[in-house]
Amino acid sequence: MILTCDIHCHSGYSGGVGKISFEKLYENLQIKGINLYGSADALQPDWRKTLKESLVESEEGLFVLKNIEEKKYKFIPRVILESEIVLTAPYFFDKKRRKSVHLLMTFPAFYVVEKIVKIFEKFGAKLSIGRPYLKFDDLNQMEDFLMNLSERFHDIEFIPAHIFTPDGVLGGENPIDCIEQFFGQFGKKINALESGLSADPDMILKIKSLNNFLVISNSDAHSEALNRIGREFFAIEIDNLSYFDIIDSIRKKRLVYSVEFKPEHGRYFLTGHRADRHDNNQSIYFKVEDIPENLICPICHKRMIEGVEYRVQKLFLKDKDLINKKADLNLFRKQKFFYSIPLIEVVAISLNSSIKSKKVNDIYRLIIDEVGFESNLYMMDEKKIIDIINNLKIEDKVKSSLAAIRKNLFKFEPAGFDGNYGQLKILN
């Protein structure tokens, strides 16, 4: 069976939004066609209490919402326990600087989460925040700590999150050039990497040292909004529905496809500085070929935030052999994926309205009624989907925007940089 998964999400305890409504979440997962969703922030005590009160185990290590009216749903989404954590250790070239990295952890049961909580508390981590922060004296101490955890808890999966963003292992300031450089021996315990919104599997897998990892994609959503949940996800093949089967499938790279943001849409694609960093309120951004020397910002003269495009190019060019033998790129393992732009945003832009407007939401529902799941818009055969679009009883300008998106007639101007999303321009 094929399972669509979005297993890295956040609750209000990680900042951003207030209380998440499980009912709304379930409704939106139906629209998005997401079978498995991340619990978010399972290590945070208040959120864990909410999870325990709201969920009931359905299969080994998987949960469903309590007391639901089953017939209301096309399918019943499962929940997997997970949390993102932050690891920080002095940067190995310069002990005065630290490198912070986000790491996703999945858990097979609440009692395992509680054991991890005790270990983290003993280590001195503050668990009242959604994303606990583990501060190490050096990389060796961190490596020992993580090795110990992974050896004691074989069923926990550790997945470096959004690897090329500033908080990703291979991105940002004080960058690391390969997984082992930061994680040491623990790198061998890592099976999958999360692409993040600003990178796609092609960008990641063309880097030699990363070619053997499975690349997965998650929304990293901080709310149950339609343009957030399931905006990226991955589909895996499993034999039985259970936590252990899912982890086994990730470890064996049984990926069917992933659905990805266009990297230019993500918040860290270009290199630059956003407006609020500057007295004149001007933003500045560069494509990889135009970046000034040493990444110095022409406005504030500080180092700019390195974009994912730049980091990927830099790591790719490190591999001199490859540049001389371009054909070898074909030897690299590839993964199947589709690009997607949240449909509610496409409708809102074409009507020059907000994603919260009733009209936008009504049209959105009409489209979903015809296409089934939102991702079908991008995954179905082009002719078939264009026919469906043409027969929709919606305004022509929305139809032509949908067709333009599907025919690749759009761009992000500017593309994302320094925390700003790329600005979608539909070319119709």
The smaller minimum CB distance to Zn ion, of residues 9 and 161, is found at: 161
List contacts with Zn ion (CB under 5 A).
102, 161, 273, 297, 299-300
Q: From the centroid of its chain, how far is CA 265?
A: 13
CB of 268 to Zn ion, least distance (A): 12
Determine the residue with CB nearest Zn ion: 297
Q: How many CA atoms lie within 13 A of 256 on its CB side?
A: 13
The smaller minimum CB distance to Zn ion, of residues 174 and 400, is found at: 174
CB of 194 to Zn ion, least distance (A): 9
Q: Is 119 exposed, middle or buried (0-12, 13-18, 19+ CB in 10 A)?
A: middle
The smaller minimum CB distance to Zn ion, of residues 176 and 344, is found at: 176
CB of 7 to Zn ion, least distance (A): 13
The smaller minimum CB distance to Zn ion, of residues 19 and 301, is found at: 301
CB of 292 to Zn ion, least distance (A): 11
Beta-bridged to residue 64, according to DSSP, are 56
The smaller minimum CB distance to Zn ion, of residues 161 and 341, is found at: 161
CB of 106 to Zn ion, least distance (A): 15
CB of 196 to Zn ion, least distance (A): 8
The smaller minimum CB distance to Zn ion, of residues 78 and 277, is found at: 277
CB of 278 to Zn ion, least distance (A): 6
CB of 299 to Zn ion, least distance (A): 5
The smaller minimum CB distance to Zn ion, of residues 77 and 196, is found at: 196
The smaller minimum CB distance to Zn ion, of residues 91 and 285, is found at: 285
CB of 297 to Zn ion, least distance (A): 3
Locate tokens 């945070």: which residue?
A: 44
The smaller minimum CB distance to Zn ion, of residues 254 and 265, is found at: 265
